[in-house]
Amino acid sequence: MAKAPKSEGLFLDGPVGQLEAVFETPSDLKLAGAAVVCHPHPQHGGTMHNKVAHTLARTFVRMGFATLRFNFRGTENSDGRFDDGVGELDDALAAIAWMRTRQPRVPLWLAGFSFGAAIAVRAAVEESVDGLISVAPAVSRFASGLQTQPSCLWLIVQGDEDELVGVDETIEWVNSLLPGPELLILPGAEHFFHGRLIDLRHAVTEFVSSTRA
């Protein structure tokens, strides 16, 4: 059984003050990379402790990645206030910069869920990263109108019973991208992946592992 990761609560410098964060590293694996995870919509209860965001972070840790989860501005103990996805992009870029300083010589991935997935997509356009995991991305509301798309390895995971982010909307968006990401649709999964978190973990693990073969 794998040992529990080393976990450090901290605050990192954000654009409008301090951002609350958790930095985790594997206890018994050689460091393979780094990952920054973005949480769902803060005005609908989303924090870095959300179970999907937590699952994403722990999935990366299990693969040997140092992982940073952080709270967007105005969320829990982070300074500032909600900025409708505009300032939150700057928060994500600050988290990426922090991780690059902390782990400068390893591949860097981004991951996000819902609102956080859309922010991570935009961040991956702004910053060159090695990979991107988008879970139920709320693209039409927070990442529409992109002039370009992420050029890194990219997986989107979407449930076909998602009640908040329509699967048809995601498929239409993916089909508009060239060459586009890999899209995995999980049958019977809804927005928060109730009862399907293990399936989500397996999907992410398989995709990331396949890129390292």
The pLDDT, as a whole number, for residue 213 is 61
Whole-number Å distance between alpha carbons of 181 and 74: 31
Q: Return the CATH number at 194.
A: 3.40.50.1820
The verdict on residue 192 lying in a domain is yes
Cβ within 8 Å of residue 65, ≥6 positions away: 26, 31, 32, 33, 34, 35, 109
The verdict on residue 1 lying in a domain is no
Which pLDDT tens digit goes with each residue over 75-93?
A: 999 999 999 999 999 999 9
The verdict on residue 113 lying in a domain is yes
Assign 8 a pLDDT band (cuts: 50, 70, 90).
very high
Q: Is the pTM of this model over 0.85?
A: yes
Name the residue range of residue 207's domain: 6-211
Which pLDDT tens digit goes with each residue over 148-199?
A: 889 999 999 999 999 999 999 899 888 888 888 999 999 999 999 999 999 9
Number of domains in the chain: 1
Which pLDDT tens digit goes with each residue over 47-83?
A: 999 999 999 999 999 999 999 999 999 999 999 999 9
The verdict on residue 202 lying in a domain is yes
Which pLDDT tens digit goes with each residue over 104-148?
A: 999 999 999 999 999 999 999 999 999 999 999 988 776 667 778
